[in-house]
Chains A and B, each alone.
Chain A
Amino acid sequence: MSAPASVVGSEDIAFDVDHIRADFPILEREVDGRPLVYLDSANTSQKPRCVVEAIEDHYLNHNANVARAMHVLGAESTEAFEGGRRVVADFIGATRPEEVIFTKNASEALNLCAHTLGSGLKPGDEIVISVMEHHSNIVPWQLLAERTGATLRWFDVTDDGRLDLVAAAAEGLVNERTKIISVAYVSNVLGTVNPVTEIAALGHAVGAAVVLDASQAVPQLPVDVAALGADLVAFTGHKMVGPTGIGVLWGRYDLLAELPPFLGGGEMIEVVKMTGSTFAAPPHRFEAGTPPIAQSVGLGAAAGYLSAIGMPAIAAHEQEITAYALEGLKTVAGLRILGPSEPVERGGAVSFTLPDIHPHDISQLLDSRGIAVRGGHHCARPLHERFGVQSSTRASFYLYTTTAEIDALVDGLGYTQRFFGGTR
């Protein structure tokens, strides 16, 4: 099987997958005597040695709490924690490190948006999200609508898995009542890369704040938050070769400075009196309690690692692998790809269905061959309903994914079909 020549071979970049794989010890693992084929990076990415070592070094040599301990370790920890923030700010093109808020994950970042941005909403106001959102960009807004009486409205998707902006314009989805728009930059199911700059302009034209769930975008695309046009951008560390336990919310500083606190506690205050409290400036206003210190160190190392390889090169590899996978999957009898079937404005997650074989059974059979994929609704049940399927199987790729792994997937799907077709 070969990928289209227009994709493979057209990029003259020094990107050596084998070299990169050597940085990820887990990729040398075997499962029941077969090499691990990890195709679940949209769920969580694997970690390079340098990230794990940075976290280990922090805990073993510098550990203390931040911003309060008046000793050497406290100073080192604070510097390491804030250093992670500076690296992340640079990585996403933030104007200043204070625009980067650390949360525990992308879900918390989106909940922070809903609580602070939405605190002034009232009946008659409208929030607009899309059918292709992950549950973490649906449920916080549903809860906000319930709390405030605001109305939740939805962008639909086309049958090809693109946001249906034509239908949205025809029905006046975004209008003077719209206060908040929150959409995914890249769909975690369809892989669709949404025209977020256009959507931001749409929102700003009516005075709405624009939030992006960039959990699938920041790991695989060069992202310049200042150029996107959005007001708030949420993503998570563990999908970009960083540790679990840390998420990021970037916001325009002048907007963050206006927003009320989210969680209350230590670190987020200015002065606490029995009669009331005043609050710290961003980002600390939104970081109650002991923050994810070692995780910031790890995330800084992760961003440094990705930068050293180069996000444009990582994005190009993702495109090549995705194109190769789409071609390979089209050779599997009856397979239906959900979302764009061509590698245009499309990220490295491919969800599909096979006739009469449930995704859990597909995942189980693939797992028996060492191939890790995800089966289910991928925390996007409304989207699956929109496509008339109960669930799907998702293969997702990253900088360490090889074409041989895609071949293993395609072979594994043939095996799965023979197994359930009664010809094993």
Chain B
Amino acid sequence: MPRKSAKRKPAARSESAARYPIASRPVMPGYGVSKSLKGLLDWSWARKRLTQSHNYVIVTVRPDGRPHAMGMHGLWFDNAFYFGTGKTTRKAKNLAANPYCVLINERLEELVIVEGTAELVRYDALPPALSEASKKKYGWRIDPRMGGVIFKVTPQVVFALPEKQFATAPTRWRF
């Protein structure tokens, strides 16, 4: 089970911490969000939505400081997000200069916001089961012959904002 803690100290980089991030309450002054930890969501709530989303949005930042957002397909797999893009797309160029990014799922009424960093991953370094997961979800395997590059987004902080339980359930997880 995820540990629930109000403290902001970073999670230890142990195997269990990587699987179960620490839950806490996000700082949202003025919105009537409870300060107590009662009602915090379980990490599986966010993981399910991140896994099942068909579309995602990736937000990166241009060298001049302007944010850039684009819709994507991708795979949430073992607490990281994998997506492919062309080598010279705006997001690939942005991430080469600044790896900070945000990933969100497609349901704003059950929004999951992932803040993290992205890195290029070689095809032969991808998790072996990823290609099969892609086939199952989108109908195609991950194939280097398709061209382009694969980025892996590693989460640092994840927010869940379920609209219908806004008073009690907004949750932040730190990795």
Q: Are both chains from one complex?
A: no
Taking Cβ atoms with an 8 Å cutoff, the residues of A that contact B are none
Taking Cβ atoms with an 8 Å cutoff, the residues of B that contact A are none
